[in-house]
Amino acid sequence: MASNSTRLRALALYKELHRLGREYPDPAYDFHGRIRRLYEKNKDLTDKDEIEKALKLGEYIKKETLALYSLRKYRHLKRMYPDSLTDPIP
């Protein structure tokens, strides 16, 4: 690993991703395993740009997972509690 600051960022991101993975809706999808393998694959990077790219990918995965969770929740709630526009009185 290049510098201490990127190491700290990588660790913080890992902890965040790990916590997110606990709520993954599909039990067959090994979220934790995948994150771990992705990190292990990149643990010996030394080039600053490559490290930056890897961190960006991690951030992207985090945002996509968050979007998945909130969309899933929103769709469920919208179906259970329809509003006057989607379920109009005839």
Partner 1 sequence: MRPSAARLLNILVPVKRAVDYAVKIRVNPQQTGIDTNVKHSMNPFDEIAVEEAVRLRERLKDQIKSIKAVTIGPPKSIDTLRTALAMGADSAIHVEMPESAPAPEPLAVAKALRAIIEKQEGGVDLVILGKQAIDDDLGLTGQMLAGLLNWPQATFASKVDIDVAKKEATVVREIDGGGEEIRCHLPLIITTDLRLNEPRYASLPNIMKAKKKPIEKLSASDLGVDLSPILETLKVSEPPKRVGGGKVESVDELIAKLKDAGITAV
For residue 31, the 8-state DSSP code is H
Residue among 6, 16, 38, 55 that touches partner 1 (CB under 8 A): 16
- 38 closest CA partner among 53, 21, 58, 56: 58
Residue among 5, 43, 49, 81 that touches partner 1 (CB under 8 A): 81
Strand, coil or helix: what is 19?
helix
- Taking the complex as a whole, the smallest distance from the CB of residue 48 to partner 1 amounts, in Å, to 24
Which 23-42 positions form the footprint of partner 1 (CB under 8 A)? 25
For residue 85, the 8-state DSSP code is T
- Taking the complex as a whole, the smallest distance from the CB of residue 64 to partner 1 amounts, in Å, to 13
- 42 closest CA partner among 62, 65, 13, 16: 13
Q: Any contact of residue 78 with partner 1 (CB under 8 A)? A: yes
Alpha-carbon torsion 62, 65, 69, 72, what sign? positive
User: Count residues contacting partner 1 (CB under 8 A)?
Assistant: 21
Q: Any contact of residue 48 with partner 1 (CB under 8 A)? A: no
Q: Any contact of residue 7 with partner 1 (CB under 8 A)? A: no
